[in-house]
Amino acid sequence: MNKKIYTFFAIALFLILLIWEADRSSTIRIDWRAVHEVMPLAGLLLWLLVFAAVVYIINAVVHKAVKKQLDEALSITDGTTDENQSIDKLEDISPKLVLSRKDMDKALLDFLAVLHLLAKGGGKSAAAKLEELQKTIGDDVIIDILRFNIYKQEKDFGKMEALSAKLAKNAEILQLKHSIEEQICAQGLSNVLQEVGESLEVCQDLGWIIESAFKTHAQNGQWEEALQILDSGHKKDLIPVERYKQLKAVALYQIALGAKEKKDSVNFFKFCSQAVKYNPKLVPASLSLAEYYVENDNQVRKAAQVLSNIWRINPTTEIAEAYLRLWPEDSAVERVQRMESLALTNSIRPSLNNLLLAGLDMNAELWGKAKSEFEIFLVNNPATKRIAEIISEYELKVNQDKEKASSWKHKIKDCAEDSLWSCNACGHFSKNWQPICKKCGAIGEYKWRLYKQGTENK
């Protein structure tokens, strides 16, 4: 409220008090439709004053909201106070390009394809992809930059000159054009992506591009190239650290397997060790590294350490079986004792301990222990094929109950599958770990499961 309003309400209130003090008995009668009221004159005046105050407050709020919107409009005209001029300038502003997520993904994929084709010298193919990109994002300056490179490959100097004159009007764009040209010729696709990412400020979407490029190379078996792209994205902080480590471990392990096929034990050990370092939970890498230690100078202690480390954080059937194979001379009872010691370090999947020990106890003819283990397993889990097989054997050998043994044997086909690898992205599962999902193409998404109901997608 300004001073005039304060003064008005103060005077009005003062006059109402004077009327009240001068003649408290004065009244006024109101007869209007269904309203028949008799009230003091001062009271009526006070209600009118309150009504005026409410109207004023509402007016002030509306005025403030309108003024705020007007100020925003005026700010576009660099502080001018001419409202008509502001409206005209607002109408002249170019509309912002708004794309759906689907169109954004398509645009980024087309953009990547144009860069890739340019790097390979495919001018005509790049031009076709550029047309698709232009349909999605319209006439943007990046279209002119890419088209200039296509003209350059086609040696169309007339069009190059005309387009260059257009681009030369903007010094920053011209500098970007030269940078793209140089890197396409000399430094490769991954560096082009980095430079464009800095210049066009699309880092939040380049993470998606980097991972897509990585996936494309990986699916083609080009793991070294995929790793280079992944590292370039990591250097620019375009990929979350955990995702980077997960993908890099997979790539390193696949490169290690390639070295193993070439009988290059030095590089196999190098890349396999790095894979374990980047992802200590990567089961196949730890298994391969332990196998390497045993095959080279029979370093059982180092192999046992590798398997013990991953068992604590990601226990699986394969890890336990590989651990027990390190001592082939052990008797059945010694294998049970060794597994019991290993089980003490597995607090993540206690049911796996029960499953493994039940089978080992049966082999060692420790009937009481075997029964205890598979009964505990069944309290927390459905019967798996392996558990059903163990119980059938137990009923036959210990209880000598052929009917129950036969019943459990018939149940095996309907029981849950033991020890499967399931893709987190689509749910597809496999008996063995896979670097790339056979169903959806996801990389490094297979996780170990104790059991899986049903046999679909195997």
Instruction: Report the C-alpha gap between 399 and 368 in whole angstroms.
Output: 12
pLDDT given for residue 292 in this prediction: 95
Question: Can you spell out the DSSP letters for 306-343?
Answer: HHHHHHHHS--HHHHHHHHHT-TT--HHHHHHHHHHHH
For 429-442, what is the mean pLDDT?
90
Q: What average pLDDT is seen over the chain?
A: 81
Residue 294 neighbours by CB distance under 10 Å: 16
Q: Which residue has the tokens 């205890």?
A: 372
Highest mean pLDDT pick, 88-97, 127-136, 178-187, 364-373 = 364-373
Q: What percent of the chain has pLDDT over 70?
A: 79
pLDDT > 70? residue 423: yes
User: Given pLDDT bands bounded at 50, 70 and 90, which one contains residue 22?
Assistant: confident
**Phi-psi region for residue 31, left (φ > 0), alpha (ψ -120 to 50) or beta?**
beta
pLDDT given for residue 175 in this prediction: 59
CA dihedral for 381, 384, 387, 392, sign (positive or negative): positive
Residue 107 neighbours by CB distance under 10 Å: 20
pLDDT given for residue 176 in this prediction: 54
| Tokens representing residue 38 in the block | 């008799």
Better-predicted residue by pLDDT, 387 or 452: 387
| Beta bridge partner(s), residue 393 | none
| Tokens representing residue 309 in the block | 């480390």
150-163 burial, b for 16+ CB within 10 Å, e for fewer?
A: bbbbeeeeeebeeb
Select from 425, 426, 417 the least CA-distant residue to 381.
Answer: 417
CB 290 within 8 A of CB 322: yes
pLDDT digits (tens, 9 = 90+) for 44-63: 778 888 888 888 888 888 88
Instruction: Report the C-alpha gap between 246 and 279 in whole angstroms.
Output: 6
User: Given pLDDT bands bounded at 50, 70 and 90, which one contains residue 88?
Assistant: very low
Of 29-38, 148-157, 311-320, 407-416, the least confident: 29-38
Question: Can you spell out the DSSP letters for 390-431?
Answer: HHHHHHHHTS--HHHHHHHHHHGGGSBEEEEEEETTT--EES
CB 130 within 8 A of CB 118: no
Instruction: Report the C-alpha gap between 395 and 371 in whole angstroms.
Output: 10
Residue 177 neighbours by CB distance under 10 Å: 22
Better-predicted residue by pLDDT, 137 or 456: 137
pLDDT given for residue 1 in this prediction: 54
Of 112-126, 220-234, 302-316, the least confident: 112-126
DSSP for residue 383: P
CB 131 within 8 A of CB 114: no
